[in-house]
């Protein structure tokens, strides 16, 4: 921080340069590190051929920064820092950790990657259909290059954006990514930074966006040396996973700059199309300009340079649209946020579970409210919390909210990591898919859901420190010790737990999995070609009644104006395990476009089934005819 004088008033300038091994023209490198707690910093440059190292005292700059510039530095040059002649430590802003979290960092010239994406325009928020995947378990190989081989299949199904669970370097080679300790370095076992660049470049060339899950609320318990360098953490707050990042305490200017530059790093050097911010309710900042606002502004700045949209999406359980509100209204201006209420409402109804936060859910009327008003808890009393929770979504359209019926948390935080493919019958899985993809929000599909994957997705890790590894295993058992399923909890450190999560990527002809995948394909085709399904404001849902008695049938109506003519799509959802007769006045005067219980999808509807009856967990889509391949598919009438 520096001072200058303007009209006899002292004005503070916050000039926090980026850190790391910053590559420059002519093979030169500028090493910069923020270490305000050190009196001196030594740059260590190992020389692998003879095993010796050069040690170079770094020059002190203002505000605790140290710097050294050297020319003719080879790509891949290992390096480390010593603080006051202490042990060697990797760079807090390392761009590459070729030998894991504890070993020296390495120089990499990210700008040398030969991008071939052409004039990639990006994907508008309203067009997002997000597919969340874990790189290590999406394929048998568990690498970025192996993901590339499956991108075309996702695009053909109707996915428009792939969301990668965190890829920052974490301990070992098995983990969810939320225990990462190197925010800038890409996990080597996945293929490192070049592998990620290849994946994104290929995705753009075939028309897919890539969103990256990033963690700015905590760091993992092993291999985080940041506290030795400076006040990166604060004791003012605690997260469920450890010390909170210091965004508003003494020394926080450089910490904020560290995170903001990380945002720019992903967009500038890797061309990501969006960032999913993990658990923003655990990001604590009382500053006048909240760090979330600065993250969005940094992403917007880099997006303007690239000439394409970059989406900043928050994961939050607060049901608070200040995340989305314009900054002049006191908000943070983020692009979108998750809405867990939709997931909880669907899950509780279809599974019958009422433990933990599902205690608050299980009523069909709540699902109707989620379709109409986004948040079920919008200032209403939550029995699970013992208090009122949330606030209304207000005028924000559905394109500002991401919903799911499964995601890594909701599966992996179960005792056995079991999925809908194990919990629900095929008809229930189909109606869940219809609710997700026909609702007026941005859908997120967790990998494998599109064909009813039956392999679990449990929590897994590969901590190297024996004590931390033991704590992870015992902690997981303690978490479910009082539950109905303590014996089902797999050891997160076991290789078998990780292997069990790898997708089967299989939907044999004639199987329920094949039928479900066809349904996903057709529903996503409907979203693309039906104007009302691309309109996020004009919709209404209600629960049908007969003789004053509520039925477990939801009527969702979505409409849009086309050249002055109102176009409608109406969906009838049977949210029960019994047949439901639909009163004639409630049947839409439109053609039947799709029945989830068609034999084409593996359903039970036959030519003898009455047209005015919904089979158990059946949904039907009605709308004007459209000359597309879908209109004549075996799943449509």
Domains and CATH numbers, the chain: 2-112 (2.60.40.10), 133-500 (3.20.20.80), 538-632 (2.60.40.1180)
- Range 456-491 burial, b when 16+ CB lie within 10 A, else e: bbbbbbbbeeeebbeebbeebeeebeeeeeeeebbb
Q: How many CB atoms lie within 10 A of CB 411?
A: 24
132 among known catalytic residues: no
Model confidence band, residue 2 (pLDDT cutoffs 50, 70, 90): very low
Query: What pLDDT score does 635 carry?
Result: 58
Query: What pLDDT score does 453 carry?
Result: 98
Query: What pLDDT score does 11 carry?
Result: 35
Query: Tokens 């068609």 belong to which residue?
Result: 598
Beta carbons of 249 and 273 less than 8 angstroms apart? no
Query: What pLDDT score does 16 carry?
Result: 72
Quickly list DSSP for 283-331. Answer: ----SSS-HHHHHHHHHHHHHHHHTS--EEEE--SS--GGGTS-GGGT-
DSSP 8-state symbol, 138: H
Query: What pLDDT score does 107 carry?
Result: 98
- pLDDT average, residue stretch 40-50: 88
Whole-number Å distance between alpha carbons of 523 and 594: 9
Q: How many CB atoms lie within 10 A of CB 395?
A: 8
Query: What pLDDT score does 510 carry?
Result: 96
Is 7 a residue whose pLDDT tops 50?
no
Is 479 a residue whose pLDDT tops 90?
no
Characterize the bridge pairing of strands 88-89 and 78-83. antiparallel
Is 15 a residue whose pLDDT tops 80?
no
Is 126 a residue whose pLDDT tops 70?
yes
Model confidence band, residue 481 (pLDDT cutoffs 50, 70, 90): confident
Question: Which residue among 132, 201, 273, 278 is the active-site one?
Answer: 278
Query: What pLDDT score does 485 carry?
Result: 61
Characterize the bridge pairing of strands 311-314 and 580-581. unpaired
Model confidence band, residue 546 (pLDDT cutoffs 50, 70, 90): confident
Percent of the residues in the chain that have a pLDDT greater than 90, as a whole number = 85
Percent of the residues in the chain that have a pLDDT greater than 70, as a whole number = 95
- pLDDT average, residue stretch 7-29: 71
Beta carbons of 57 and 84 less than 8 angstroms apart? no
350-393 pLDDT tens trace: 999 999 999 999 999 999 999 999 999 999 999 999 999 999 99
Beta carbons of 154 and 186 less than 8 angstroms apart? no
- pLDDT average, residue stretch 521-547: 92
Whole-number Å distance between alpha carbons of 76 and 519: 48
Model confidence band, residue 524 (pLDDT cutoffs 50, 70, 90): very high
Query: What pLDDT score does 629 carry?
Result: 38
Q: Residue length, the chain?
A: 637
315 among known catalytic residues: yes
Query: What pLDDT score does 381 carry?
Result: 98
275-298 pLDDT tens trace: 999 999 999 999 999 999 999 999
Is 143 a residue whose pLDDT tops 50?
yes
- pLDDT average, residue stretch 71-96: 97
Is 8 a residue whose pLDDT tops 70?
no
Model confidence band, residue 632 (pLDDT cutoffs 50, 70, 90): very low
Query: What pLDDT score does 583 carry?
Result: 87
- What is the overall mean pLDDT for the chain? 93
Query: What pLDDT score does 529 carry?
Result: 92
- pLDDT average, residue stretch 567-588: 93
Query: What pLDDT score does 626 carry?
Result: 59
Query: What pLDDT score does 631 carry?
Result: 41
Question: Which residue among 315, 320, 360, 378 is the active-site one?
Answer: 315
486-517 pLDDT tens trace: 668 999 999 999 999 999 999 999 999 999 99
3-state secondary structure of 480: coil
Of 214, 191, 188, the closest CA to residue 201 belongs to 191
3-state secondary structure of 120: coil
Query: What pLDDT score does 611 carry?
Result: 87
């Amino acid at each position: 921080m520096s001072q200058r004088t303007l009209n006899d008033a002292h004005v503070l300038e916050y000039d926090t340069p980026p850190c790391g091994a910053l590559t420059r023209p002519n093979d030169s490198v500028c090493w910069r590190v923020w270490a305000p707690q050190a009196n001196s910093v030594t740059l260590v440059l190992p020389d692998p051929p003879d095993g010796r190292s050069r040690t170079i005292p770094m020059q002190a700059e203002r505000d605790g920064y140290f710097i050294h510039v050297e020319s003719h530095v080879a790509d891949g040059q290992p390096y480390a820092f010593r603080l006051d002649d202490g042990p060697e430590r990797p760079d807090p802003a390392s761009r590459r950790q070729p030998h894991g979290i504890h070993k020296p960092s390495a120089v990499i010239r990210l700008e040398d990657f030969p991008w071939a994406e052409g004039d990639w325009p990006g994907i508008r928020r309203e067009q997002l259909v997000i597919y969340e995947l874990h790189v290590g378990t999406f394929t048998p190989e568990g690498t970025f290059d192996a993901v590339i081989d499956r991108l075309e299949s996702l695009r053909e199904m109707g996915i428009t954006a792939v969301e990668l669970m965190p890829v920052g370097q974490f301990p070992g080679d098995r983990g969810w990514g939320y225990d990462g300790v190197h925010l800038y370095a890409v996990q080597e076992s996945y293929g490192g930074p070049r592998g990620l660049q290849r994946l994104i470049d290929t995705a753009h060339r075939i028309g897919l966006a890539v969103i990256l899950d990033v963690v700015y609320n905590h760091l993992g318990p092993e291999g985080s040396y940041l506290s030795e360098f400076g006040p990166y953490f604060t004791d003012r707050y605690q997260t469920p996973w450890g010390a909170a990042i210091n965004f508003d305490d003494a020394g926080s200017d450089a910490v904020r700059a560290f995170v903001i530059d990380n945002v720019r790093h992903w967009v500038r050097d890797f061309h990501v199309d969006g960032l999913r911010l993990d658990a923003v309710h655990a990001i604590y900042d009382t500053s006048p300009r909240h760090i979330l606002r600065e993250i969005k502004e940094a992403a917007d700045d880099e997006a303007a340079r690239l000439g394409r949209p970059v989406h900043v999406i928050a994961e939050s359980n607060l049901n608070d649209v200040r995340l989305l509100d314009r900054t002049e209204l006191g908000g943070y201006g983020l692009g979108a946020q998750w809405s867990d209420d939709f997931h909880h409402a669907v899950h509780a109804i279809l599974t019958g579970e009422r433990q933990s936060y599902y205690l608050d859910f299980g009523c069909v009327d709540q699902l109707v409210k989620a379709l109409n008003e986004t948040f079920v808890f919008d200032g209403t009393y939550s029995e699970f919390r013992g208090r009122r929770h949330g606030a209304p979504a207000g005028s924000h359209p559905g394109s500002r909210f991401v919903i799911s019926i499964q995601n890594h948390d909701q599966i992996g935080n179960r005792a056995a990591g079991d999925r809908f493919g194990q919990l629900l019958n095929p008809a229930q899985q189909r109606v869940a898919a219809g609710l997700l993809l026909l609702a007026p929000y941005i859908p997120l599909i967790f990998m494998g859901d599109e064909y009813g994957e039956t392999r679990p997705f449990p929590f897994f890790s590969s901590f190297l420190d024996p004590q931390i590894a033991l704590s992870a295993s015992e902690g997981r058992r303690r978490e479910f010790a009082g539950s109905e399923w303590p014996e089902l909890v797999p050891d997160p450190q076991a290789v078998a737990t990780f292997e069990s999560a790898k997708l089967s990527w299989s939907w044999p002809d004639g199987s329920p999995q094949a039928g479900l995948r066809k349904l996903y394909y057709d529903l996503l085709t409907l979203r693309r070609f039906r104007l009302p399904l691309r309109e996020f404001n004009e919709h209404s849902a209600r629960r049908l009644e007969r003789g004053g008695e509520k039925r477990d049938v939801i009527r969702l109506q979505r409409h849009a104006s086309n050249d002055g003519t109102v176009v409608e799509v109406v969906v009838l959802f049977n949210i029960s395990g019994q047949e439901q007769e639909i009163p004639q006045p409630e049947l839409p005067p439109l053609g039947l476009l799709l029945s989830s219980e068609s034999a084409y999808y593996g359903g039970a509807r036959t030519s003898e089934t009455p047209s005015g009856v919904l089979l158990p967990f059946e949904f039907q889509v009605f709308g004007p005819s459209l000359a597309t391949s879908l209109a004549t598919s075996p799943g449509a009438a």
